[in-house]
Amino acid sequence: MTNLVSAGPKSEATKRILVTGGLGAVGAQLVPELRSRGHDVWILDRLHSDDSQYLRADVGEYRQFENAVRRAEPGYVFHLAAEFGRWNGEDFYETLWRSNVIGNKHLIRLQEQFEFRTIFFSSSEVYGDWPHVMTEDVMDEEEIKQLNDYAISKWAGELQHLNAQAMAGLETVRVRLFNVYGPGEYFSPYRSALCRFLYSGLRKEPLVVYRGHSRSWLYVSDAVASLANIVDNFQSGEVYNIADGTEYTMDELAEFVKEALNIPSSLIEYQDGEPFTTHTKHVDISKAVRDLGHQPTITLRVGIDQTIEWLRRVYL
């Protein structure tokens, strides 16, 4: 896949990094970003790859995971490997809990043994039914009800790392991604609303829009630029919202897609709010701006156009 991520600033020192889930929608963009900064980056995933520094392993299998860590000898691990999505988590709950929680515990045991630093990928879904501004400290001060197994598994993962920091002094940063989209996100019924809207629109198939929801959409290159900055300003124990910060209703999102693809209104079906997911996500990104130099540059309209170009090459 063509690297669509622009090179970031060179790091002060080369770091040896392992990216689990490195062939996924975000991981596949993060790897070249880190390499463009001079880092020695290894990839771990369950698929196959001809990358010379690729290690095939399932994080849910301790022996496989341990062998990969021994070979990569990382100083940092970006832990993206996980099952994604609330309905995917319902339909394939065995895989979800095995990957997202058992696999995460395997990571912690390996961190204890090999003493690397971890960047753990959580999700905006952990904010559950919280209706107000989503600042990172909400989880410390309020009792939040997660709304689906995927969200619960991600919050459980965060708690695992918080316990590991307290019990063993492990060094970990947590990141909560908010609706990252763009080239590299292949269609499935379990992917993001924007991915599904664009795929259906390209194929002139009906798309369902759930009203009463709003989201902040972050283009993948903006996400990975800030994520890559963590290794140069690693502050153990911190947690960051990685988001755009501009909020759109699902009706507005559908209108953007309609205009970009010139599809008729008759293809869009509007329904009441979707159950078991957060209605609105009012996000505060000031910590990521302060510590990571987070500065989204790709507007939603531009990002949609660039994603459509990639989808056309892949599917049409």
pLDDT tens digits along 104-137 = 999 999 999 999 999 999 999 999 989 999 999 9
Q: Are strands 76-79 and 16-20 parallel, antiparallel or unpaired?
A: parallel
pLDDT confidence band for 1 (50 / 70 / 90): very low
Return the amino acid letter for 192. S
- What span, in angstroms and rounded, lies between the C-alpha atoms of 237 and 67? 27
Residue type, 114: F
pLDDT band of 4, cuts 50, 70, 90 = very low
Q: How far apart are CA 247 and CA 268, in angstroms?
A: 21
Write down the pTM of the prediction. 0.93
CB count within 10 Å of CB 22 equals 28
Q: What is the pLDDT of residues 213-270, one digit of tens each?
A: 999 999 999 999 999 999 999 999 999 999 999 999 999 999 999 999 999 999 999 9
115: left (phi over 0), alpha (psi -120 to 50) or beta: left
- Domain annotation for the chain: domains and CATH numbers: 16-315 (3.40.50.720)
Residues 6 or more apart whose CB falls under 8 angstroms from that of 279 comprise 131, 212, 213, 214, 273
Token pair in block for residue 185: 């996100």
Q: How far apart are CA 198 and CA 312, in angstroms?
A: 10
Written as six digits, the tokens of 85 are 């999505």
Nearest CA-CA partner of 225 in 170, 295, 313, 286: 295
